[in-house]
Amino acid sequence: MARALNTKLVETAKPDPGRRIEIPDGALAGLYLVVQPTGAKSWAVRYRHDGKPTKLTLGPYPRLSLGEARDAAREALGIVSEGQDPTSDKMTLAKLKRLPKPAPDHYFDKVLERFVASQDRKGRRSVDETKRILERDALPRWKGRPVANITAADVVEAIETIVQRGSPVMASRFRAACSKFFSYGVGSQLRADNPVRGIEDPISQKSIQRDRKLADRELVLVWRGAEALCYPFGPAVQLLVLTGQRRAEVLEATWDELDLKARTWTIPRDRAKNDRAHVVPLSGAALAIIEGLPRVAGSPFLFTTSGTTPVSGVSKAKTRLDVVIAQANDGRPLPDWRFHDLRRTFVSGCARLRIRSEIVEAAINHVSESFGGVRGVYNLHSYEDERREAMEAWARHVAGILAPNVVALRPVA
C-alpha cells in the first residue's frame, strides 16, 4: 500500500535522471507527486473518463502545497464521480489549479497569435517553422491555459512526450521554439521568467547536422513539382535549384537588386546571412525564369501575393509540393528533405562537375576553409568569371537531367 505523503517526503523526493517519477499519495487515491528528471515537482490527478485513463496536472510544488493539492484532487475526483470531466471547462480547471482568473488575451493560444505576428513583423526567417512546431505540439497541450502558469515541468513533460514517440530531433526544435515563445512572454510582461532556461537539450546539436542532398532523379521530381505549383512558389523553388542561394534570400528578393542587362543579382548586406553583399551571376536558365515572372503593380518583390510583403506560407507550399511530388512518384513521397537541401545539392553537384571548392563557396557566399583565417585576409579575388561559368555549368546539368531522352525516370524509393 502506498505511503501517505507528508511535507518532508515531498521535499526530499529525489529525481531519477533517466525518467519521470510519479509517487502516489496513500492518503488520497488518484493523487500523485510527479518528479521530473530535472528535479522539478508538480501534482497530478489520474482518473478514468469515458473508459479512458486521463491525467490532470494540477500545478507545481511548492506553489501548490500538499494540502492544497489534496483539496484540489478531491474536487476533481468528485466531478469525475458525477460523470463529468474536470478538464472540459476552463473556469473549473482554473479553480482546481487554484489560479486567479486570467485575462482572456493571456491564454497560450492568444499569446501565440501575438508572438507569431511579432516575429513576422520583425522579418524572422524561421517564423513559419516555429509556428508549425508550436501549433502541433504545444497548442493542443496548452490551449486555454494562462502563459504565466506554464511551468518548466510542463515543458519537460512535453519534450519527453515527443522523445518517446521517437522524434528526439523534433523535441530539440520544440525546446528551441518554446524558448523563443517564452522569451517573448517575458518581454511582454506576461510572465516573470523563461521556463525553458535550465532544461537540457534532448540531443546534441552535432547530431542534427544534415548531410541530405538530392539525387538527380529526386531533383527532377522537385523541379517538375515546382512547375505544377506555378507562381509564386514554383519559380522560387526553381531559382533555389539553379542559384544555390538561401531560401530567404530568394523569397525576399526585390527587383532593384537585379541588373538584367548585366545578368547579375546583388543580395545586399542587410539580407545576406554573413553580413556582406553578394553578387550572384545569373545563368541563362535563371534569367529566363526571372524574366517570366509577373510584375505585381507597385511591388518591389519578385515573389509576393499581397504586393506589400514578400511571399509567406512556406510550410504550406512545401506541403503542396510534397503532395505533387508523391503523385508523380507512384504515391511515394521523397524521403525527409527540405528547401535548404537544394543548396547542399547545388554544392555537391558542382563538385561532381569538377568545379573548384573556392569557386563554389564564393558562388553561394559561404565562408569556410577556402576564405577563412590568413587565406581569407589575402585572397580578395571575387572569381566573377569563374562563378558565372559554374552557374552555367550547373544550369546545363539541370537541363540535361530534365531532358526525357537523357534520364529515364523511375519512382524514388
Report the CATH fold assignment for 7-100: Double Stranded RNA Binding Domain (3.30.160)
Residues 32 and 43 sit within 8 Å (Cβ to Cβ): yes
Return the C-alpha cell found at 103: 485575462
The residue extents of the domains of the chain are 7-100, 105-208, 216-402
Arithmetic mean of pLDDT, 79-99: 73
Q: State whether the Cα torsion 37-38-41-45 is positive or negative.
A: negative
Q: Which fold has domain 216-402?
A: hpI Integrase; Chain A (1.10.443)
Percent of the chain scored above 70 by pLDDT? 88
3-state secondary structure of 80: helix
Domain pair 105-208 / 216-402, same fold: no
Average pLDDT value for residue range 299-328: 93
Answer yes or no: are the C-beta atoms of 54 and 47 closer than 8 Å. yes
pLDDT in tens, 101-156: 667 778 999 999 999 999 888 877 678 889 999 999 999 999 989 898 898 889 99
Counting Cα atoms < 13 Å in the Cβ hemisphere of 67 gives 0
pTM of the model: 0.53
d(CA 70, CA 93): 15
Note the pLDDT of residue 352: 92
| Cell triple for 219 | 531533383
> To the nearest 5 percent, what fractions of the chain are helix, strand and coil?
50, 10, 40
Residue 89 DSSP SS3 = coil
CA distance 269 to 277: 4
Kindly give, in sequence order, each residue whose CB lies less than 8 Å from that of residue 377, ignoring residues fewer than 6 positions away. Answer: none
pLDDT band at 368; cut points 50, 70, 90: low
d(CA 377, CA 361): 16
What is 105-208's CATH topology? Answer: DNA polymerase; domain 1 (1.10.150)
What's the rounded Cα separation, in Å, for the pair 359 and 101?
62
Location of C-alpha cell 518517446: 164
Q: Considering only CA atoms, which of 352, 386, 349 is closest in space to residue 370?
A: 386
